[in-house]
Chains A and B, each alone.
Chain A
C-alpha cells in the first residue's frame, strides 16, 4: 500500500538525493507518494529581516502549520 508524505521543498544544494529520487521514481518504488508542500508568498521571509540573535528562517514553517511532515534543517 502506498503511503503519502508531504515535505517542505528542497533545493539541489541541500536535497539533491530527494529530487533525484522523486524524478527517477524511487519514492514510488519504495511505496511512498512523496509530495512537496507549496509555500504561500507570505511564507517566504528574507533572512535579511533577522539578526544573529533573532534569526528569521522559513524552515519548519509549513511543518508547524501541519502542511508538511518533514523539513531539512
Chain B
C-alpha cells in the first residue's frame, strides 16, 4: 500500500508553501508513518532549528478538529481527512507518498506469506481498475463524523489513492530509512539487512505467489 500524507493549513492561514512553516507550530502523530512523512516534508523545506513541532493525537479526525480550532498552525493528514480538509477550504502546502511495509514475526513461513501476497496482488488489480468503487472504504470508517459523511466520490482526488502490488523490500531503501530514522535519534546501531529482512522467506513467497 502506498500512503498519501499531506501537510495541511486552515483556510485563514498565511502559510502557502512548506517554507512558510518555518517557526510555525506543526502537530505530528509521532510514532506513526504519517508523522515521519510530515517530518520529511518539513525537513526538506525549513532549517532544522526553525522546525516547531508538537505531538498530537493518532486520530486524523482529532488533528483536523484541533487544526480548525487553532491549536496549531499545520498538521499532517491522510485520507479521507485530506479530502475533508480540502473541501473545507484548507490548503495542502505539501503532499507526499510513502510505503507501508509489512512487519512479520519470525514464525511466518513462505507459503503463508505467499498466499497473503497473492490475495493482495489481486485486490490491487481490482482497486486500480476502478478506484471510485472502493472509495466507501475511506468513509465508512468514520461514521458519525459529519464532515466525512458529507463527502461524495467527486470530492476525492483519485491520484492520492495509490496501491501497488507487493514486492520484496529494496535493501537500499530500507537502509536509507534506517539511517534517516537514526539521524533523528529514533534508532541506534548500524543497519543490518540480514537482521531486518528475512530474504529467504521473502524471496520464496514472491516466487510462490
Which residue numbers of A lie inside 8 Å of B, CB to CB? 3, 5, 11-21, 24, 26-27, 29-32, 34, 44, 46-53, 55-60, 63, 66, 69-73
Contact = CB atoms under 8 A, between A and B. Distances in A.
B186 interface: yes
A11 B78 CA distance: 11
A32 B205 CA distance: 14
Interface residues of B, number: 49
Interface of B: 1, 3-4, 28-33, 35, 39, 53, 55-59, 78-80, 100-105, 107-108, 111-112, 115-116, 118-120, 122-124, 126-127, 134, 137-138, 141, 161, 163, 184-186
B104 A20 contact: no
B1 A72 contact: yes
Contacts of B28: 52
A69 B104 contact: yes
Given A47-B35, A50-B31, A58 B58 contact: yes
Contacts of B32: 47, 57, 59
Contacts of B123: 16-18, 20-21, 24, 26
Nearest to B102: A70
A4 B1 CA distance: 22
